[in-house]
A and B are shown apart, each in its own frame.
Chain A
Amino acid sequence: MIQTLHKLWRNHGGLHLDYHKEDSNAAPVRHLPMAEELIIPLQQHSGYKPTLTVKAGDYVYKGQEIASHTGFMKVPLHASTSGTITAIEERPIAHPSGLSDLCVILKPDGKDDWGNARMPTYPDPNQVDGEILRQRICAAGIVGMGGAVFPAAIKLNVHDNIPIEALVINGAECEPYITCDDRLMREKPLEILRGVQIMMHIIATQRCLIGIEDNKPEAIAAMQAAREELGDQRIAIIPIPTLYPSGSEKQLIKILTGKEVPSGGRPSTIGIVCHNPATARAIYRAVVLGEPLIDRYLTITGKGVAQPCNVEVPLGTPIQHLIAHSGGYTPAAKRLAMGGPMMGISLHSDQIPVVKATNCILVSDIPENEQQPALPCIRCGRCAEACPANLLPQQLYWHSRARDFDKAEQYHLFDCIECGCCAYVCPSHIRLVDYYRFAKAEIRTQRDAKTKANIARERHDFHQERLERAKREKAEKLAKHKEQAQATTDDGKKAAIQAALERAKAKKAEAAAQATTGETTE
């Protein structure tokens, strides 16, 4: 039924997992009642924090900017609904170490009133200059919604010297349990494809490859139907084999194009730009409808929640609210994570809000074999067999554990995408990825410390040099002065030298006399 003539490439490794997609993908997306309070963390993307433009007590309209975006790697933030800012304070955020960060607390007034916060629309984006569209995408606060939260506008800023061969849309959704992209592709395929067309216009490419794992036949069909409707021959919907982690950006690019993103490089260096379907849709809404990014599709699932489902909720909705509207926790609920079971991050509280990166809330139990202690590595090589980056995970583990970070880097630590395949298959149950995260963090801190030290040293050297220069200049001045003075009193100088010579002579004689008595002058 679904056919493709597109050639596919194979990656190394990968796993067939238990997907549990059917737990949540059957029903259409739900819209929940508004939460009592929205918690909107200021920092929602990779890059720099935007600057707050509201204060406690302000009334804001839906879509109104609450933090602005002047500067590189900054993306603005908008109110998810209308209401009053009750506080701006530290709240726990979604972070592996359970950190808190500055959040805007918004009490909805229930009106969901846009006021005049909607941005001007571009009904026909093809007539608009790409740069203007890019600025709009930035102003709408759009970031990669697959979890990486990289500012979308920056990803779309391609260099003229590398022509973009293809736009790749990552509809693989390879993590178990997560089905929000699946639902989005089924429910809003036209909006996604219109967003795709806008991106193609911006990066001036004539080809778009949309990769979707073949365990989502409905999504593939819906997207193909939408493509027929648009009649855009440049766009190809390509089913790919279901094999974790095909939805990792680098892996998907290899599968669809046969090209590898160079180590340490970006896809654009090989003429590829990669985005997520949700990002494409957000771009459509920002450009054509003038709506900033203030809500998203996400999956609530796992053994620990009574009614797994997909929802579309305003950013800032507390997780607890989502759980409460999904039938609440079951007795199996032991672990809360944002993201999927392979790469998600643990949450220590359900007071944490939904952010732009939140594609899934996973409430799971703790499998039995996790309660066993890790055994030593038996060098079985299963981890290397499973690694999609073709690394040698047990060597990375060995060197990370021994804090031999140079060696770990030699074994390409930074090419590890932290997909978790190695830890999944390890028969000794070693928490391999934890060691890599630790090593990467250590290396980064060391590098930071080094740069800081370098800057400090440079500053110090500069300071030192300035002091020396000042001294030198002073000395030179003084010397000049003296010279002038000397020139006038040459006779006096001769007399002075004579006197000094005599003084030295006398001292010498005195010292000699003392030496003969065997005493020191001290």
Chain B
Amino acid sequence: MIFSKRTSPYVSGKQDVSSIMRQVLYALIPGTAVLIWYFGWGILSNLVLAIVLAELLEWGMLKLRQRPVRPFLSDYSAVVTAWLLAVAMPAFSPWWLIAIAMIFAIVIAKHLYGGLGYNPFNPAMIGYAAVLVSYPVQMTIWPAPVDFSFVHIGLGQTLQHVFAGSIQGWDALSAATPLDAVKISLSLHKPLSEIYATGQFGLLAGQAWEWVSLAWLLGGLWLLWQRIIGWQIPVALLGTLALIASVFWLIDSQAYASPLFHLFSGAAMLGAFFIATDPVSASTTPTGKLFYAAGIGLFTYIIRTWGGYPDAIAFSVIIMNMAVPLLDYYTQPRVYGTKQGLQG
């Protein structure tokens, strides 16, 4: 009898890369569904376009780099990147905007750095930041959320807009996001109470947006419960953001938005559970993760409040990605039987 010579361990856990990525995709479903509910077909068109492009680009890059295609294409990592981008981009993004974002994400941020596992930056956020910097106007205009809005703008109209340019009546539907609205109003020295009175806001943050955030939160909690992600990053990110927001809000609640507003508008929830938790580009030690995520929370608040862009998750993640090697080095756990982490 011939026996296999492989060394121990001979048993292995049930999780593999593709199963982890699949769970992340499942967890994205509720938030995405709520987005579609409020913003219509545009989200779906983003999603389909992004995924198709991501897989094509991934395939092309694997071929170019002479890597085995099958195991990598089936790891779902490109789909996760595409999905995150699709839900972060404004609904009804034109195809070329998505394409540019995907090229930055998959080709530049991922494969030019060596592919899965080697990218120092979060690919989705690089893609997002690239188009945000290059096309700020297109990137901040969202359609106004309307219940059952996908009835409002039909599929045909959606496709027409995505592939052939603006549709009639589009301007009437478009609106700034709540974060943007708050920022603009504050810059005009309007007190917050006045802004909230415009009716664009719900209980916590923007109408619709707070529901979307709650749905991201739901998916995120499920990921936590499934032990796909650790608690450190979401807790530290949201905690830091809420803490700083509370401090300023307590100082002047008319000039600084409430912590709840910060948590439930923009990409705070999406960022805390789905973006900052990207294992490849995040810090890997438990303590490092706390610092990493706290940094993102801090930068998010700073950029949102005093920076040039309404939302700041993408930039904050990219900034903290750069700090990861240092964080990992200085936050090594204490090894059993030793005094400190690092020897010599």
Does B associate with A?
Answer: yes
Given contacts A345-B7, A346-B4, A381-B230, contact A12 B336 (CB under 8 A): yes
Which residues from chain B contact A1 at a C-beta distance below 8 Å? none
Cα of A340 to Cα of B11 in the assembled complex, Å = 10
Contact for A415 among B5, B12, B337, CB less than 8 A: B337
Q: Nearest-CB distance from B119 to chain A (Å)? A: 10
Nearest opposing residue in chain A for B70, CB measure: A373
Please indicate the chain A residues that have their CB under 8 angstroms from the CB of B279 in the complex: 378-381
Q: Which of B7, B118, B282, B337 contacts A346 (CB 8 A)?
A: B7
Query: B199 interface residue, CB < 8 Å from A?
Result: no
* Complex CA–CA separation, A169 to B291 (angstroms): 42
B66 within 8 A of A: no
Whether B338 pairs with A415 at a CB distance below 8 angstroms is yes
Q: In the complex, are the beta carbons of B335 and A427 less than 8 A apart?
A: no
* Chain B stretch 3-41: residues in CB contact (< 8 A) with chain A: 3-13, 15-17, 19-20
A11–B336 CB distance below 8 A: yes
Kindly state the separation between the CA atoms of A384 and B9 in the bound complex, as whole angstroms.
16
A442 to B77, CA, bound (A): 35
Measured between alpha carbons, how far is A423 from B16 in the docked complex, in Å? 12
- In the assembled complex, which residues on chain A have CB atoms less than 8 Å from the CB atom of B286? 381, 384-385
Chain B contacts for A260, CB-based, 8 A = 336-337
Q: Tell me whether B280 is interfacial, beta carbon within 8 Å.
A: yes
Q: What separation, in Å, do the CA atoms of A200 and B37 have in the docked complex? A: 73
Q: Which chain B positions have C-beta within 8 A of A382?
A: 15
- Measured between C-beta atoms, what is the minimum distance from B307 to chain A in Å? 29
Chain B, interface SS category: loop
How many A residues face the partner with a CB closer than 8 A? 77
Q: Within the complex, what minimum Cβ distance (angstroms) separates A340 from chain B?
A: 8
CB distance from A401 to the nearest CB of B (A): 12
As a 0/1 sequence over residues 397 to 417 of chain A, the CB contacts with chain B under 8 angstroms (1 = contact) are 000000000000111100100
**B7 & A335 in contact (Cβ 8 Å cutoff):** no
Give A339 Cβ to nearest chain B Cβ, in Å.
7
Q: Does B334 contact A (CB under 8 A)?
A: yes
Decide if B4 touches A334 in the complex (CB within 8 Å): yes
CB distance from A232 to the nearest CB of B (A): 31
What is the bound-complex CA distance between A64 and B338, given in angstroms?
45
Contacts of B5 on A, CB cut-off 8 Å? 98, 346, 348
Residue from B1, B77, B117, B285 in contact with A384 in the complex, judged by beta carbons closer than 8 Å:
B285
Contact of A427 among B1, B16, B68 (CB under 8 A): B16
Question: What is the CA–CA distance of A252 and B3 in the complex, to the nearest angstrom?
Answer: 33
B115 proximal to A (CB < 8 A): yes
Closest A residue to B67 using CB positions: A376
CA distance A254 to B344 in the complex (A): 24
B198 on interface, CB distance cutoff 8 Å: no
Are B16's CB and A384's CB within 8 A?
no
A353 to chain B: which residues have CB within 8 Å?
none
Chain B interface residue count, Cβ-Cβ cutoff 8 angstroms: 45
Q: How far is the CA of A334 from the CA of B3 in the complex (A)?
A: 6
Find out whether the CB atom of A434 lies under 8 angstroms from the CB atom of B7: yes
* B333 in the interface (beta carbon within 8 A): yes
A341 contacts B9, CB within 8 Å? yes
Q: Note all chain B residues with C-beta closer than 8 A to A15.
A: 13
Q: Are A262 and B17 in contact (CB under 8 A)?
A: no
Q: Which of A263, A336, A427 contacts B17 (CB 8 A)?
A: A427
| Contact between A409 and B343, CB atoms less than 8 A apart | yes
Assembly CA distance A423 to B7 (angstroms): 11
The answer on a CB contact under 8 Å between B8 and A390 is: no
* Set of chain A residues within 8 Å of B72, measured between Cβ atoms: 375
Task: Tell whether A262 pairs with B16 under 8 Å between CB atoms, given A343-B9, A376-B116, A378-B117.
Answer: no
The closest CB in chain A to the CB of B344 belongs to A410
Q: Are B280 and A379 in contact (CB under 8 A)?
A: yes
Closest CB in chain B relative to A335 CB, distance in Å: 5
For residues 306 through 329 of chain B, which have their beta carbon under 8 Å from a beta carbon of chain A? 328
Once the chains are docked, how many angstroms separate the CA of A106 from the CA of B277? 62
Q: Is B157 an interface residue (CB 8 A)?
A: no
Interface centre among A15, A17, A340, A412 (most CB of B within 10 A): A412
**Complex alpha-carbon distance, A391 and B5, angstroms:** 27
How far apart sit A340 and B118, CA to CA, in the bound complex (Å)?
A: 34
Cβ of B200 within 8 Å of any chain A Cβ, yes or no, is no
CB of B147, distance to nearest CB on chain A (Å)? 39
Residues of B within 8 A of A342 (CB): 8-11
B169 part of interface (Cβ distance < 8 Å): no
**A334 CB contacts on chain B under 8 angstroms:** 3-4
Given A384-B284, A429-B16, A344-B8 contact (CB < 8 Å): yes
Docked-complex contact B336 and A424, CB < 8 angstroms: no
* B180 lies within 8 A of chain A by Cβ: no
Instruction: Contact check, A427 vs B19: say whether CB atoms are below 8 A apart.
Output: yes
Q: Which residues of A contact B254 (CB under 8 A)?
A: none
Residue in contact with A254 in the complex, picked from B11, B71, B332, B336, CB distance below 8 Å: B336
Q: Which of A17, A263, A379, A384 contacts B337 (CB 8 A)?
A: A263
**B68 (CB) vs chain A CBs: closest residue:** A373
List of B residues within 8 angstroms of A381 by Cβ: 230, 279, 284-286, 289
- A279 to chain B minimum Cβ distance, whole angstroms, is 23
B279 to chain A, nearest CB (A): 4
A425 touches B13 (CB 8 A): yes
A366 within 8 A of B: yes
Confirm or deny: A176 has a beta carbon within 8 angstroms of a beta carbon on chain B: yes
Chain A 210-236 residues near chain B, CB threshold 8 A: none
Across-interface contacts of A329 in B (CB, < 8 A):
1
Complex contact A339–B337 (CB within 8 A): no
| Distance to closest chain B CB from A138 (angstroms) | 28
In the complex with contacts A335-B4, A343-B8, A263-B115 CB distance below 8 A: no
Q: A344-B8, A375-B116, A420-B8 are in contact. List 14 more A-B contacts (CB 8 A).
A: A250-B337, A334-B4, A335-B3, A336-B3, A341-B10, A376-B115, A379-B282, A385-B230, A389-B335, A411-B342, A415-B335, A424-B11, A425-B15, A426-B12
| Chain A residues within CB distance 8 Å of chain B | 11-12, 15, 17-18, 96, 98, 176, 250-251, 254, 260-265, 329, 333-337, 339-350, 362, 364, 366-367, 369-370, 372-373, 375-382, 384-385, 388-392, 394-395, 409-412, 415, 420, 423-429, 431, 433-434, 437
Q: B: which residues have CB within 8 A of A?
A: 1, 3-13, 15-17, 19-20, 68, 71-72, 75, 77, 115-118, 230, 279-280, 282, 284-286, 289, 328, 332-338, 342-344
A-B contact pairs, 27 of them (CB 8 A): A96-B7, A176-B11, A261-B337, A263-B336, A335-B10, A344-B8, A348-B3, A367-B11, A372-B16, A375-B17, A376-B115, A378-B17, A379-B117, A380-B279, A381-B289, A390-B335, A391-B335, A392-B285, A392-B332, A410-B342, A420-B8, A424-B11, A427-B16, A427-B20, A428-B17, A431-B7, A433-B7
> Closest 6 A-B residue pairs measured CB to CB?
A376-B117, A420-B9, A380-B279, A263-B337, A341-B10, A381-B284
